[in-house]
Homo-oligomer: A and B are copies of this chain.
Amino acid sequence: MTTGAKGPREVRARGGVTMHDVAALAGVSFKTVSNVLNDYPHIRPTTRARVEAAIAELGYQVNASARNLRRGRTGVIGLALPGLAEPYFGELADTVVRVAETRGVTVLVEHTAGERAKELDVLTSARRSLTDGLLLSPLAVTAEDLRELRPTSPLVLLGERVFGVGLDHVTMANVEGARLATRLLLDRGAHRIAVVGAPGAPGEPEPLGPLTELTGLAELAALARGAGVPDGELGSARPLTTTTARLRLAGYLHALVEAGLEPDPALLLPTGDWHRTSGAAAMDRALAVGLEVDAVLGLNDSVALGALHALQLAGVDVPGRVQVVGFDDTIDGAFATPALTSVSPGREVIASSAVDLLLRRIEGVEQAPRLVVAPVRVEERGSTRRA
């Protein structure tokens, strides 16, 4: 059935220019068009030019659905994060998207709010069939869940939750980062370093017990090297702030122990969550009870910035009387006044490792599950006193 002569150009509904249209205009077979598009090596330059001209003239774009169907790939990967509003995750998403672009894949960002239901949904929903694989930063889902689900498509985990499921995993050297930050503060003359965002509920810090058990130097050193993270104790189902907080706290304790200092539980200031206002509130409480402090280690930039604000509010000079260090090296911190010294988590490394691990799995490479621990370094800025 002729749909009526459609002039040479006459674009069909929904921009439906096909390879056949291009081929007709270029005077070649449609397969040649395909070859040009796929950088098939043996094409006469003039042919290629004609095809490219036709493509440009018609504004042809490949039909992704058809290509995907044929290739058995979508060229899309999922990235599921607890929330983009938190600066760290927002910036991580950004980095992942950029890295993915250089690898020729696009990223479908999903958002779990850290809720188990949403995390499970992300793993199972029909959206998965739209993607070739998933990067998941789990907060609530358990190792059990993951084992039972036996995820149908390639999966790489991010963060410090849920280990030992036989999946690729990318995390950062949390312990080492906190250790470096603490050491920097000690080097700059600090003796009483408060930890804002420590595990526990506001006002009632988690007992140091299980943590000091971890402070055996050998064990901590292993953690710091990123040699692996004990499952169980550290990997069970607790909110992000708890798990990550414990690792970072361990680094802090490690640095103190190394320096021959006795940790003072009074210096551990829990915040419940890791938002700015909680950091400010914790610092306020500490100041109110006259806690003696000459430095603050915020376990992420948000609480560090909150503490910074509270200190300034109280007329305390930063970094003159109290130095402040954060963790995550977010843009907010870099632009605060004074600019926040912070542990930089190597977002680039995290993002590219994660994407590449996933792509390798998608390509069907069989290899033992890998754990990548991104190295950290301290970005020193105005909130600490340069030597």
Contact = CB atoms under 8 A, between A and B. Distances in A.
Given A15-B152, A335-B275, A66 B69 contact: yes
Interface stretch (A84-92, A185-193, A196-204, A375-383): A84-92
A14 interface: yes
A35 interface: no
Nearest to A278: B335
A63 interface: yes
Interface string A127-166: 1111000000000000000000000110000000000000
A21 to B, nearest CB: 14
B153 A64 contact: no
A76 interface: yes
B277 A62 contact: no
A358 interface: no
Interface string A98-118: 000000001011010000000
Most interface-central of A14, A65, A72, A93 (chain B CB within 10 A):
A65
Interface residues of A, number: 49
A136 to B, nearest CB: 17
B65 A74 contact: yes
Contacts of A64: 74, 126, 129-130
Contacts of A65: 65-66, 68-69, 74
A97 B69 contact: no
Contacts of A108: 106, 108
A34 to B, nearest CB: 15
Contacts of A294: none
A277 B333 CA distance: 10
Contacts of A13: 364
A69 to B, nearest CB: 4
Interface string A327-351: 0000110011100000000000000
A222 interface: no
Nearest to A336: B277
Contact of A312 (B59, B72, B84, B313): B313
B337 A277 contact: yes
Contacts of A29: none
A130 B64 CA distance: 6
A281 to B, nearest CB: 8
A309 interface: yes
Given A87-B85, A91-B85, A312-B313, A152 B97 contact: no
Considering the complex of A and B, which 7 residue pairs feature the smallest CB-CB distances, nearest first? A65-B68, A65-B69, A85-B90, A15-B152, A84-B84, A64-B129, A61-B129
25 contacts: A14-B153, A15-B152, A15-B153, A61-B129, A63-B69, A63-B129, A64-B126, A64-B129, A64-B130, A65-B65, A65-B66, A65-B68, A66-B69, A69-B69, A75-B130, A84-B84, A84-B90, A85-B87, A85-B90, A85-B91, A85-B94, A90-B90, A108-B108, A309-B309, A313-B313
Given A62-B126, A65-B68, A276-B332, 18 more contacts: A14-B72, A14-B153, A59-B152, A63-B69, A64-B74, A65-B66, A65-B69, A75-B130, A76-B130, A84-B90, A85-B85, A85-B87, A85-B91, A97-B111, A275-B335, A277-B337, A281-B337, A312-B313
